[in-house]
Structure 1
Amino acid sequence: MSRTTRLFDLMQTLRRHRRPVSGTVLADELGVSLRTLYRDIAALKAIGAEVEGEAGLGYVLKPGLLLPPLIFSEEELEAVALGLKWVGKRADDGLAVAAGEALAKVAAVLPGEQRHRLEDSALLIGPGWERPQAVDLQILRQAIRDEQKLEITYRDQQGRRSSRIIWPCAIAFFESTRIVAAWCELREAYRHFRADRIEAAEATGQRYPRRRHVLQKEWLQTLLPCSVTATVYPVPTSSREKEQSKMEQELVFYTNPLSRAGIVHWMLEEVGQPYRMEVLEFGTSMKSPEYLAVNPMGKVPAIRHGDTVVTEAAAICAYLAEAFPQAGLLPSPEARGDYFRWLFFAAGPMEMALSLKHAGFSLTPEHELQFGCGKYETVVETLANAVAGRKYIAGDTFTAADVYVGSHIGWGMQFGTLERRPEFEAYWAGLKDRPANRRSEAFIAEAMAAQAGAGNEQPTTS
């Protein structure tokens, strides 16, 4: 077996193990000596593989981009080179520089012969049709990434200027021009703007009300020809109609920012569906007949989606992930076991054990038989093992379970109801800076500041 093949096999073996695995186990699986294994792991790290761990502790391969030379055929190399060179010639300056750096990084990990082929490609990019560009495309790309409204000055084909607020969601690169697809507040419809006719663009600092992937889906639907709906295309419409109906139903979020409703707030921001927020006060509007008709417990959070009412934060997260699959918050089928297991572990044993601990209750052996949560120490150890070495709690993608589990871990460490452990801090560090979470946290911070200014104190649970 060649060393290149052996390194590739080692990488594939590490990918199969989601938790740290000892060097002895890896060496046995690959049929090599432990000494050879250590050398091969060092070689993988040298070419960019994010392998964490060390001898005696075990190893785990973090998710990330790794381009080992073995995976490139000649045509794949030509495709990579051609694509990056096209970006260098046709995109804006920022992407052009990034494309050059990416090409250099690819070349750096290739063996000598393949590196020569990459640099000596016979596929060339000819000159394009250059037009003066008043606004750097990087401004437009940043607005799309941040899901921010832009105020632009636009000159149409007749030379007439107008000022508009747009919600940019895509940029199309053509040989002769670049087109920005966006919702236009002036026209109240999706419009296409020639980038070279945008004379000025300034970020408003305001986030547009729907997520970018929702805008893109709506925009693409406006491009479909009428014939798509004709019977010549035998596509079942029942499930599509149901999904569209769900998207059109009003979504109401009952909350108090100083409560567990913050979990649902984060989830709603991840979903990206428009919703109406009703902020309730503890002991007053939360116990009113109107709200008790929604949730007889008189507690938040709760949502009303059309005629459907859902209470309890974990249930709401699970419901929203199912109701709006386009948000991508459900894991793949093979990861559903972990998804439901840890979502409801956090809602059941973890929630109860942390609450009892915080209230000063110490469970006796008899209590442990009666309470479903078990000991606090056992719960913490089980949860730490569940998140150790994992970016997400279920599979390789962010899901609704990460919203719920992550919220409890983040808040627990912040308020001292959950002990700080390296496993918890590493897991939470990968979630806390998600834009949706930051938006929900900003709302909570504003509410706390307002409360402090009023000199009032309210409970932080419900």
Structure 2
Amino acid sequence: MGDGPTLYTCAGSRGLRATWAAEEAGVDIDLNILPFPPRYLAPEYLEINPLGTVPMLVDGDTRMTESCAIAHYLATKDGMTDLAIAPGQSDYAEYLDYTYHADATITFPQTVYMRFAIFEKDKGWAEAGEAYANWFYKRLVKVEDRLESRDYLCADRFTVADISVGYALILAKKVGLDEGVPEILKEYRERLTGREAYKRAVEREKAGLAALKA
């Protein structure tokens, strides 16, 4: 383990927000890829994070488990960067709002959909999962409206808010929820996933997963 922060995560999970933010901010992290789900396949992880969830960032005495918060932390831990917006700057409130909106309002129904319609569909809960898919589609309207007149969510530049919301759209495509995603948001997703830092983050997680399976 190096002197920098250590990120525990599963490849492609919400932790991608943190891996991506680290690449964008140029923060050197020790990336520790775990098997999914770690609470069952890596029980020793519970000694580090009793929740058994990913991601988790360890930085000295700091312990963080919320992906959007970790992304913001990595973007600001060594001083403000263009990835974040400070109090008093234009769109500061919007930056906070969309960063929190990403998980609380958008990723939440995706998570329930995945559990009921994918992971536990054999238990007869697929219909409930599909109901949450519709919830997810309806909750995209706020981001859709915001992006009608801009390329990025806040301050006319790419920020952690875009990482946070963008991951939810990336996840939608991955788990079969793309049908209800508006075209404007698909175009936005293409802009985000075309970034070199995003590509590096994905490749780094893939490499960690390959090493885990080797």
TM-score (norm 2): 0.77
1:236 aligned residue: none
Q: Structure 2, unaligned stretches of length 5 or more?
A: 117-126
* Closer/same/farther in 2, CA of residues 448 and 420 from structure 1, 3 Å limit: farther
**In the aligned structure 1, how far is the partner of 2:197 from the partner of 2:130?**
37
The residue number in structure 2 matching 1:331 is 85
SS in 2 for 1:266: helix
Q: CA deviation at 1:250?
A: 2.9
**Count of aligned pairs:** 195
Inter-partner Cα distance in structure 2 for 1:343 and 1:294: 26
Higher share in strand: 1
1:423 to 184, 191, 195: 184
Deviations 1:261-309 (A, max 9, x none): 2221111111212222222232233x21xx3343211121111112111
- 1:165-190, CA deviations, whole angstroms, 9 ceiling, x for partnerless residues? xxxxxxxxxxxxxxxxxxxxxxxxxx
- Confirm or deny that 1:284 pairs with 2:38: no
Per the alignment, residue 59 of structure 2 pairs with 305
Structure 2 counterpart of 1:361: 128
Match of 1:400 in 2: 160
Q: Which amino acid aligns with 1:436?
A: A
Of 2, 13, 22 in structure 2, the residue corresponding to residue 268 of structure 1 is 22
Aligned with 2:64: secondary structure?
strand
- Map 1:67-146 → 2, pairs under 5 A: none
The 5 Å alignment of 1:347-386 reads 347-358=103-114, 359=116, 360-361=127-128, 375-386=135-146
Change (3 A) 1:445 1:250: closer
d(CA) in 2 for partners of 1:324 and 1:397?
Answer: 20
2:6–2:30: 8 Å Cα contact kept in structure 1? Answer: yes
Deviations 1:28-55 (A, max 9, x none): xxxxxxxxxxxxxxxxxxxxxxxxxxxx
State the Cα distance separating 1:446 from its structure 2 match.
4.1
Change beyond 3 A, Cα 1:352–1:436: same
Partner SS, residue 140 of structure 2: helix
Q: Deviations over 1:311-358 (max 9, x none)?
A: 121121122223133542112522111111111111111112223344
Which of 409, 412, 419 does residue 169 from structure 2 map onto?
409
Counterpart for residue 343 of structure 1: 99
Distance 2:188 2:63 in 1: 32
Q: Which amino acid aligns with 1:432?
A: T
Report how far residue 416 of structure 1 moved. Answer: 1.8
Distance 1:299 1:324 in 2: 26
- On the 8 A contact 1:342/1:405 being kept in 2, the answer is yes
The answer to whether structure 1 residue 259 and structure 2 residue 13 are counterparts is yes
Structure showing greater Rg = 1
Counterpart AA for 1:284: L
2:141 is aligned with 1:387 = no
The CA RMSD over aligned residues, in Å, is 2.9
- Identify the residue that residue 119 of structure 2 maps to in structure 1: none
| SS of corresponding position for 1:274 | coil
Looking at structure 2, the residues matched to 445 and 292 of structure 1 have their Cα atoms a distance apart, in angstroms, of 23
Residue pair 1:270, 1:327 contacting (<8 A) in 2 also: no
2-side partners of 1:274 and 1:446: how far apart?
A: 16
Counterpart code for 2:160:
A
TM-superposition CA deviations, 1:223-269 (whole Å, max 9, x none): xxxxxxxxxxxxxxxxxxxxxxxxx9631111222422222111111
Point out the structure with the larger helix share. 2
Cα distance change on mapping 1:401 and 1:361 into 2, 3 Å: same
**1:401-453: CA deviation from partner (whole Å, max 9, x where unpaired):** 111111111221243224332111221122112111001122344456678x8
State whether residues 271 and 324 of structure 1, in contact with CA within 8 Å, keep that contact through their aligned partners in structure 2.
Answer: no
**Contact conserved, 1:388 with 1:427, CA < 8 A, in 2?**
no
CA 357–276 in structure 1, closer or farther in 2 if over 3 Å, else same:
closer
Q: Cα deviations across residues 100-146 of structure 1 (Å, max 9, x unaligned)? A: xxxxxxxxxxxxxxxxxxxxxxxxxxxxxxxxxxxxxxxxxxxxxxx
Aligned match of 2:122: none
User: CA 1:258 to 1:426, structure 2 compared with 1: closer, same or farther past 3 Å?
Assistant: closer
For residues 31 and 103 of structure 2, what CA distance do their matches in structure 1 show? 24
CA deviation string 1:371-402 (max 9, x = no partner): xxx93343022332233332111111211111
